[in-house]
Amino acid sequence: MASTAPSVSRYKSLINLVTAVGLSLLIIGSNATPLMVRVRGIVLESSAYLYVPIKWIETIFTIEKDYRELQQRHIKAQIELNKSRTLLNENQRLRKMLGFKNEKQFDVIPANVLSDIGSQTMNSLTVDQGSEDGVTLLSGVVDSQAQLVGKVVAISPHTALVQLVNDKNFRVSVREMRSRDVGILSYTLKTGYVIQDVPKNAEVIAGDSVLTSGFSDIFPENIFVGWVSAISPVVEDYVKTVRVDLASDFNRLEEVFILK
């Protein structure tokens, strides 16, 4: 009798395997019986009841984790905002001490795009704000991300015509954000949108941001225009041409903002 027990324990794993296989075959064979359908329904319903509190607990932990991350981001953003405010106040104080004039202040007029026009003469769009709404000729126009769109070139009492930046005759003074070099952005058939006659020693690299320079009565400074995409070889060892990818998507413009 004592020798039987070790022999049974020796084949315990095999017995368990055979039993599991037998039960599996039994379940598969009776898969469509009413009893198995009922048992399956009870198991699924019980699992659903168990899943709800488990999911609820998991959601609580996830929300707590997200809250902590958002709290950290908020604190970091608040610190950066405070730094920016400090720098702004310092900049304004120094400008006043040096006798500089205050920067231009402006309001914005929201406008819906009525239609866009692409022709041999001008790339433009029509908006639903005009002279009676405060729009004036040569007002700058930006999109919802404050990216440069163009300028107003014609107005009526209730509509205005906007010449787009991607028009071949459009010109705007821009500044490369990192190197602070200034140039005129224009369009050429050969190279696309370029800043021409950039000094040879200008430290401009691909990916740099391009903003309006402020050397204009139309556009305030620091309106985002696009990114540097490439730099052409130096011409006659004096200047080089900087290619630019425009930021605004002119095919998806539905609303614009006119700078007043």
Residue 23 has pLDDT above 60, yes or no: yes
Percent of the chain with pLDDT over 70: 77
Q: With respect to residue 63, please indicate whether it lies within any of the assigned structural domains.
A: no
With 0-12 CB in 10 A as exposed, 13-18 as middle and 19+ as buried, what is 117? middle
When comparing pLDDT for 39 and 127, which is higher?
127
Q: Which residue has the tokens 């998991």?
A: 58
Specify the range with the lowest mean pLDDT, choosing from 16-20, 115-119, 144-148, 172-176: 115-119
Indicate whether 45 pLDDT > 80.
no
Residue 203 lies inside a defined structural domain of this protein? yes
Residues 6+ apart with CB under 8 A from 245: 193, 226, 227, 229
Taking Cα atoms as reference points, which of 196, 208, 189 lies closest to residue 235?
196
Q: What is the mean pLDDT of residues 181-198?
A: 84
Establish if 110 belongs to a structural domain. yes
Kindly state whether residue 218 falls inside one of the protein's structural domains. yes
Q: Write out the two tokens for 92.
A: 């304004």
Hunting for tokens 């509190």 — which residue is that?
Answer: 53
pLDDT in tens, 226-253: 999 888 766 566 777 889 999 988 888 8
Domain presence at residue 255: yes
User: Residue 119 sits in which domain range?
Assistant: 105-260
State how far the Cα of 193 lies from the Cα of 189, in Å rounded to an integer: 9
Residues 114, 127: contact at Cβ < 8 Å?
yes
Q: Would 3 be classed as within a structural domain?
A: no
Q: Is residue 80 part of a domain?
A: no
Q: What pLDDT is stored for residue 230 in this prediction?
A: 87
Per residue in 47-99, pLDDT (tens digit) is: 666 667 777 777 777 887 788 888 888 888 888 887 787 877 777 777 777 66
Torsion sign across C-alpha atoms 162, 168, 173, 179: positive
Average pLDDT estimate for 187-196? 83
Q: What is the pTM of this model?
A: 0.59
The most confident of the ranges 34-43, 112-121, 239-248 is: 239-248
**Domain contains 2:** no
Q: Report the CATH number that the domain containing residue 228 is assigned in CATH.
A: 2.40.10.340
Q: For the chain, what is the domain count?
A: 1
Q: What are the angstrom distances between the C-alpha of 197 and each of 28, 184, 207, 225?
A: 80, 8, 19, 18
**Mean pLDDT, rounded, for 162-177:** 90
Helix, strand, or coil (residue 173): strand
